[in-house]
Structure 1
């Protein structure tokens, strides 16, 4: 599972850099400044959670069961949260109305929050011997 988490983290990190560059340069003339900032929010959350997955996949401080659940919550959360933000920010460029699926953004955010809560609970359970 650790290898899958690390590979996914690297893909998410890579694509967040690509999306960030695209948002800053490719979309500059095509969408409003507000939409660019919205797009950037999706990029930031994607990168932050790529880094979280790098940590999760490379530490022994988290139980394997928790790692698996956190992995799925983060991946689903990013697809729904960042993915819908990318769509909403570029809505004016598409024939599809992303506002019709905007309700998935908070569901994705909730998924990310749940991942953090699970990490928090797992960290509370760590014995002090394991951390040192």
Structure 2
């Protein structure tokens, strides 16, 4: 489990750096200020939860089942929250008419983040 969490965090960390650099250099001037802010929020939350995954990997030694649940919640949360924000911020640029339907997916990712943090807190309470 620890190895899987660290590999996932490494991939998400790498992708966050790429997304941040692409936003700063590749999208500058192509997106509105509002959409650049949305892009930045996606990168920011992806990093926050990548760091949370790294921390989570240190808890695997306690053999608490909830650590696996936190891993799943944070991972799917990153995909839904940050992934939908990346796409929504570029909707005018890529001109996919169906993209606005992703709007409700972003808060689902946010709820998964919240559930992951609650799960992490409960897991911490179970540490002996």
TM-score range, shorter chain: over 0.9
- 58-67 vs 99-108, which deviates more? 58-67
Give the count of matched residue pairs.
127
Contact 2:73–2:116 at 8 Å: present in 1 too? yes
Residue of structure 1 in register with 2:69 after alignment: 69
Task: Give the equivalent residue in structure 2 for 1:130.
Answer: none
Residue 61 of structure 1 and its aligned partner are, at CA, apart by 6.5
**How is 1:1-132 mapped onto 2 (pairs within 5 angstroms)?**
1-60=1-60, 63-97=63-97, 98-127=99-128
What CA distance in whole angstroms lies between the structure 2 residues aligned with 1:62 and 1:119? 13
Question: RMSD over aligned Cα, in angstroms?
Answer: 1.4
CA distance in 1, matches of 2:112, 2:62: 18
Unaligned runs of 5+ in 2: none
Measure the CA separation in 1 of the matches of 2:91 and 2:53. 29
SS at match of 1:17: helix
Residue 13 to residue 76, structure 1, CA distance change in 2 (3 Å): same
TM-score (norm 2): 0.92
The 1:62–1:22 alpha-carbon spacing in structure 2 relative to 1, beyond 3 Å, is farther
Shift of 1:58: 2.5
Measure, in 1, the Cα distance between the counterparts of 2:40 and 2:62. Answer: 30
Superposition TM-score, scaled by structure 1 size? 0.90
Q: Quick check: 1:61–1:123 contact (8 Å CA) kept in 2?
A: no
